Chain A
Amino acid sequence: MHRKFWIGALALALLISLGWGWNEYRLAGKYRTATENNNRRALNDFASHLDQLETDMAKGNVASNPAQKILYLSQISSKSEAALKDFAQIPAQQTGLSYVGQFLTQSGDFTRILAQRIAGGGTISGEEEKTLRDMHERLMPVNQQVQDLILRMDTEKLVWTDPDPSLRQRLGLGTQVAEAAADGSEAPAKSVRSGLDQLDASLQKLPPFSYTGEYATRVVEKPLGLPTGEVTRDQSLERARDFLDKAGYANATPEFAGESQGPLGGYVWNFKESYLEVSRQGGVITLHRDQRSIEPRTLSLEEATSKAKAVLQALGWKLVITSSEEFGSYVQFDAVVEKDGVRIYPDKVRLMIALDNGQLVGFDASPYYAFHHERTFPTKLTMEQAVRKLRPNFQVVESRLAVIVKSGNQEVYSYEFRGRYQGEEYLVYLNASNGTEEKIQRIIKTPRGEYLK
Chain B
Amino acid sequence: MKLHIRPWGMVITIGLLLSIALSGLAYAALGDRLLGRGSKGPEVTELQKKLVQLGYSVGSVDGKFGSKTEAAIRRFQKERGLRVDGLAGTQTIKELKRLTGQSTNASGKAVGYKNIDTNLLARAVNAEARGEPYIGQVAVAAVILNRIKDPAFPKTVADIIYQPRAFSSVDDGQINLAPSASSIRAAQEAINGSDPSGGAVFFFNPAKTSNKYIWSRPQIKQIGNHMFTK
Contacts and interface: CB of A to CB of B under 8 A. Distances in A.
A451 B150 contact: no
A44 B213 CA distance: 28
A-B pairs, 10 with minimum CB distance: A328-B80, A297-B81, A260-B221, A425-B106, A329-B81, A88-B154, A423-B107, A215-B151, A105-B151, A102-B152
A77 B211 CA distance: 35
Contact of A447 (B99, B154, B159): B99
Contacts of A446: 103, 114
Nearest to A446: B103
Interface stretch (B15-23, B32-40, B188-196): B188-196
Interface in A323-375: 325, 327-330, 332, 348, 350, 355-356, 364, 366-367
B193 A424 contact: no
Interface of B: 77-84, 95, 98-101, 103-107, 109, 111, 114, 133-135, 146, 149-155, 159-160, 162-166, 168, 185, 188-189, 192-196, 198-199, 202, 211, 213-214, 218-223, 230
A84 B155 contact: yes
Interface of A: 81, 84-85, 87-99, 101-102, 105-106, 109, 161, 215, 218-219, 258-262, 264-265, 268, 275, 287, 289, 291, 293-297, 325, 327-330, 332, 348, 350, 355-356, 364, 366-367, 420, 423-425, 442-448, 451, 453
B134 to A, nearest CB: 5
A90 B164 contact: yes
22 contacts: A84-B155, A85-B159, A88-B159, A88-B163, A90-B164, A95-B211, A97-B153, A101-B154, A109-B151, A218-B199, A219-B199, A261-B218, A265-B221, A275-B196, A287-B196, A296-B82, A296-B84, A297-B80, A327-B185, A328-B81, A366-B198, A423-B109
Contact of B82 (A84, A90, A297, A348): A297
A20 to B, nearest CB: 22
B153 A98 contact: yes
Contacts of B111: 444
A451 B195 contact: no
A323 B218 CA distance: 35
Given A91-B165, A94-B166, A446-B114, 19 more contacts: A89-B163, A93-B165, A95-B202, A102-B152, A105-B155, A261-B218, A262-B198, A265-B221, A275-B135, A289-B135, A289-B196, A328-B79, A366-B198, A423-B106, A443-B106, A444-B105, A444-B111, A445-B104, A453-B114
Given A262-B199, A423-B105, A447-B99, A291 B135 contact: yes
A334 B101 CA distance: 24
A424 B106 contact: yes
B138 to A, nearest CB: 8
B222 to A, nearest CB: 6
